[in-house]
Structure 1
Amino acid sequence: MSRSLVRDYRDSLRYPEFWIYATWLEIVTKYRRSRLGLFWALMPPALYAFGVGGFFSYIQGQNPRDFIAHLGIGYIVFRFITVSLSEATTACTGHASFILDGRVRLTDYVLRVVAKAMFYLIVSLPVAAAALAVSPQFQWMGLVTLLPALLLVVLNVAWMGAIVAVIGARLPDVHELIGSILMISFLFTPILWHADQTPADTLRGAIARANPLYHMVEIVRAPLLGEPIERLTYVYLATMLVVGGLLAAWVYRRFARYVPLWV
């Protein structure tokens, strides 16, 4: 029997007990034995924003107060996306016992991965707030668009996560492939550099703008720092959501029923 991606996501959101509790339990068991606890979750964004950001700002001759916010926000959004997609590749195989026991609503396992990544994003908010507080570019009006922009990012992550979860159940090597692609994509995402350093009418700019993470980071960060958002970003993300969502729905309907056999 074929399954519907939209229906399964709807049911997962209507009955979130499994993936919310599983996420909470994983986080609690990971940090409860540590003396510093959740402080360790703050370390990566803090080190990137104020450590790497300060270092690269001097290398590039930029104002550290501006670049720290640029890098900090970019890294936090980038980490949310990459953690979600990387762990989604093993979402089904990691829950094989549940799937073989008859729990075949695969969106529960994708949402567990996304919820975990969202937890780390929320924990990183104090770092983001500190970085924005020292930035003279910070625009309060950017907070108005923050939630809609994050929602757009989450929706795109949701359909991509569904695809890589199904494919990852069939091809375990997809985990390594996605990890390598995401690692390379860091260089083509404006985190250590600014978007205006690669104009759209240049080859470098065209290559960078072909990267979906470029637009997913910019849609969140640019309004907060008073930077313009290119029209291409709106078109790219809207098209990606519609076309990608349709593709994910087809892949899920066609292949999700085989996952219990693959895991």
Structure 2
Amino acid sequence: MFKSIQYVIKENFSNLYRIFSISKYELLADMRDTKLGLFWNFASPAINLLTYWFVFGFVMERNSVDGIPFFNWMLAGMVVWFFVRPCIVDGCNAIFAHSKMISKMKFPVSILPATVVLKELFNHFCLMIVLILIFIVQGYRPDIHWLGLIYYCFCAIAFNISITMVLSVLNMIARDTRKFVSSIMRLLLYLTPILWPLSRFEHYPKIAFIMKSNPIYYIVCGYRDCFFYHEGFWPYRYRAICFWIITLFLFAFGSVLMHKFKAKFADLI
């Protein structure tokens, strides 16, 4: 296992420029196919946010959560979801999408999950700029707690790369993986939870504990804490332990898969 982890880490760090170049090319390729280009990086998530706000904030009349306007509370969680979801769904296809290149030349396959995450990280930064501007206009002034976003963004990157490594290899073994993951992600949005507070399960501690163990929920809570609650890292220490255990396990498992199948990817295509 340690040999596999060392192999993946070494291959990624020795190909940082290649990771950046592939991510940049794929990002520009997506923009090149449309006339409005970068506009859709903001428009698509904005339309989804307005849809969720209309259903949960207007129709279902959820006015506030812990004294925070529902739209702001939801927005702080959805910005994480708009980063994690495409990384996982598109990450399933990270290796298969480059099958022609892999079959024709010797290529460091383990870097491909990182290229997907780096590409989506740019979109995440674009949405974060809009989010911060919205909060500033509404009276939320930047303070020292906002620096915690750097840590939680790193957590999101580490989790996305780890789970993408696993899913991209599994998708090469069984093509149904991507469709299965796409279906599960729709359910996971409501189970995280992002669109409703976990306090609704205060009478069901076992269910609440399982949901709190969700790595994505830890990141969501972190973003919300930086913007609104300002409680710091300590109240989330148990969730942090669960998060890093799960993330490191996924990274180790993904590294083993990458190392085991590194010479077989061309045959799996």
Q: Please classify the TM superposition score into its range, dividing by the shorter chain length.
A: 0.7 to 0.9
1:8-52, Cα deviation, whole Å (9 max, x unpaired): 343333333333222222222322454432111101332344553
Contact 1:74 1:191 in 2 (8 A): yes
Deviates more, 1:109-118 or 1:218-227: 218-227
Comparing 39-48 and 165-174, the one that deviates more: 39-48
**Map of 1:150-189 to 2, 5 A cutoff?**
150-189=153-192
The residue aligned with 1:234 is 240
Structure 1 residues without counterparts, runs of 5 or longer: none
What letter matches 1:31 in structure 2?
M
Match of 1:80 in 2: 83
Deviation at 1:163, TM superposition (A): 0.9
User: Using the alignment, how far apart are the partners of 1:184 and 1:171 within structure 2?
Assistant: 21
| More deviation, 136-145/81-90 | 136-145
User: Which amino acid letter does the alignment assign opposite residue 26 of structure 2?
Assistant: E
| Native 8 Å contact 1:170 1:259 kept in 2 | no
| Residues 1:131 and 2:139 aligned together | no
Q: Please, what TM-score do these two structures have when normalized by structure 1?
A: 0.86
* Percent identity (aligned): 16
Name the structure 2 match of 1:23.
23
Q: Does residue 118 in structure 1 map to residue 121 in structure 2?
A: yes
1:224 Cα deviation from its structure 2 partner = 1.9
1:141-171: per-residue Cα shift (whole Å, max 9, x none)? 3312111111122112111111111111111
Match of 1:98?
A: 101
Aligned to 1:60: 61
The Cα of 1:177 is off from its aligned counterpart by 0.9
Q: Say if 1:206 and 1:101 are closer, same or farther in 2 by CA, change over 3 A.
A: same
Q: Which moved more, 1:200-209 or 1:76-85?
A: 200-209
More displaced 10-residue stretch of structure 1: 50-59 or 12-21: 50-59
Give the letter aligned to residue 24 of structure 1: K
Runs of 4 or more, structure 1, over 6 Å off, are none
CA RMSD of aligned residues (A): 2.7
Equivalent residue letter for 1:25? Y
Contact 1:31–1:38 (Cα < 8 Å) also in 2: yes
Indicate how the Cα distance of structure 1 residues 128 and 6 shifts in structure 2: closer, same or farther if over 3 A, else same. Answer: farther
Q: How has the CA–CA distance of structure 1 residues 139 and 195 changed in structure 2, closer, same or farther, with 3 Å as cutoff?
A: farther
Q: Distance in 1 between matches of 2:203 and 2:259?
A: 37
Which consecutive residues of structure 2, in runs of 5 or more, have no partner in the other structure?
none
**TM-aligned CA deviation for residue 189 of structure 1:** 1.7
- SS for the counterpart of 1:230 is helix
SS at match of 2:263: helix
Match of 1:219 among 203, 217, 222: 222
Specify whether residues 239 and 33 from structure 1 end up closer, same or farther in structure 2 by C-alpha distance, changes over 3 A only. Answer: closer
Q: Which sits farther off after the overlay, 42-51 or 19-28?
A: 42-51
User: How far did 1:188 drift?
Assistant: 0.7
Letter in 2 for 1:8: V
Q: Given the two structures, how large is their TM-score scaled by the length of structure 2?
A: 0.84
C-alpha spacing 1:138/1:209, structure 2 compared with 1 (3 Å): farther
Greater mean alpha carbon deviation, residues 193-202 or residues 65-74: 193-202
Larger deviation: 217-226 or 146-155? 217-226
Residues 226 and 254 of structure 1, relative CA distance in 2, 3 Å threshold: same
